[in-house]
Amino acid sequence: MEFFKDKKKQEVDFVLFTIVMLLLAIGIIMVYSASSYSALYKDKDSMLYLKKQLIFGTLGVISMMIVMKIDYHKYKKWSPWILLGCIPLLLLVFVFPDRNGAQRWIEIGPLTFQPSELTKYAIVLFLSSSVANKGERIKDLKQGLFPYLLVSGFYAGLILAEKNLSIATVIMMVTLIILFVAGAKAKHIFGLVVPALGAAVLALAFSADYRRARMLNFLNPWKDAAGDGYQLVQSFYALGSGKLLGLGLGNSRQKCFYMPEPHNDFIFSIIGEELGFVGAVFVISLFILFIWRGILIAQRAKDTYGTLLAIGITSIIAVQAIINIAVVTGSMPVTGVPLPFISYGGTSLVITMTAMGILLNISKDVK
């Protein structure tokens, strides 16, 4: 346990650390299980995605361990520069060819990098530092609330131009959570901002044919089960087939070219199919415990900056997990939000694990 103490013998939140490692382990196992069939036939290597996820998972753990030792207050002076550095990265994606109509990745040889994954945490770092310095002025609509909404809205707009409505929405939702926790008036947030953003999201959702199709098919995916409703219908088949205890690890049928890319955004449906209702509830319980520990760390933080930073990091994981599981279970329109720690993705995993290092460091500096 000595590794988890700093020079002052303060321990990190070991419960949170355990939860993170459990989610990571489940993710690596499920990525292999969900991808092995398609990887064998398409790439002639059933362990291809397992190898990649193991590499990125290892890099993520190393990054978390290093960052866990760095005083989170040191990010204060760097947060504006990190956020500004995201602008050229977000623009650079337009140099590279699109993937299924979206331009979200910077490609360097066999490696890819998704700047939006870094940007959402960069915004949390910036908002936490700046809002903490704002103090009571955050209650003012023009001087406190709007400037931060404009900043987050600018970056959300850049990400939206990449055809990534889901991450743009996550950024705005997390921004509102941070501002609310910081003391912004509820009547400003829920009376003005939330309705305006809700209307904007709906307008955007119906602004493109594929988004409109997703929105309408969410209401009745069976109407076009072989077209726009196909992925959601296959998710229902997977979850229904799992019943209480599942078909067994590795025994999913939907991953056999029925579910498109089952190791990505719809990996939770494979969890439900192979591990059943019990396995799905266990994963959901881990996310609930994660949120609880994150809120607890925020409450115990010694300063406002630590509180807001912990809330911001926790909110990103919470919002993405809620959206992903809601999509897979047909509770909201289909959108491309990965399940944190579990969905396949190198950029997302390494950056998320790095953010966990920051959260664990905050847990050492408590009241």
pLDDT at 134 over 50: yes
Which pLDDT belongs to residue 9? 46
53's torsion region: left (phi>0), alpha (psi -120 to 50) or beta? alpha
pLDDT at 91 over 90: yes
Q: How confident is the model at residue 230 (pLDDT cuts 50, 70, 90)?
A: confident
Taking alpha carbons only, the member of 160, 105, 161, 168 closest to residue 319 is 168
Q: Distance from first CA to last CA of the chain, Å, rounded?
A: 21
Q: Which residues contact 208 (CB under 8 A, 6 or more apart)?
A: none
* The amino acid at 162: E
pLDDT at 224 over 70: yes
pLDDT 10s digits, 99-128: 777 788 888 877 788 999 999 999 999 999
Burial class of residue 81 (count of CB atoms within 10 Å of its CB; 0-12, 13-18, 19+): exposed
pLDDT at 81 over 70: yes
d(CA 95, CA 106): 8
Which pLDDT belongs to residue 205? 66
Mean pLDDT score of the chain, rounded to an integer?
88
pTM of the model: 0.92
Taking alpha carbons only, the member of 100, 260, 319, 347 closest to residue 269 is 260
Taking alpha carbons only, the member of 154, 158, 148, 190 closest to residue 89 is 158
pLDDT at 19 over 90: yes
pLDDT at 131 over 70: yes
Q: Comparing 16-20, 103-107, 361-365, which segment has the lowest mean pLDDT?
A: 103-107
pLDDT at 193 over 60: yes
More confident residue, 65 or 222: 65
Tell me if residue 9 falls in helix, strand or coil.
coil
Do residues 359 and 294 lie in contact, with contact meaning Cβ atoms separated by under 8 Å? yes
When mean pLDDT is compared over 7-16, 77-86, 218-227, the highest value belongs to: 77-86
More confident residue, 333 or 263: 263
Q: How confident is the model at residue 159 (pLDDT cuts 50, 70, 90)?
A: very high
Which pLDDT belongs to residue 361? 95
More confident residue, 194 or 158: 158
> Rounded mean pLDDT of 298-307?
93
d(CA 91, CA 97): 13
Which pLDDT belongs to residue 210? 66
Provide the Cα torsion 96, 102, 108, 112; round to 10°: 170
CA–CA distance from 103 to each of 95, 125, 213, 251 (Å)? 9, 25, 20, 34
Do residues 317 and 352 lie in contact, with contact meaning Cβ atoms separated by under 8 Å? yes
d(CA 146, CA 142): 5
Domain ranges of the chain: 14-365
Q: Number of H helices and number of E strands within the chain?
A: 13, 2
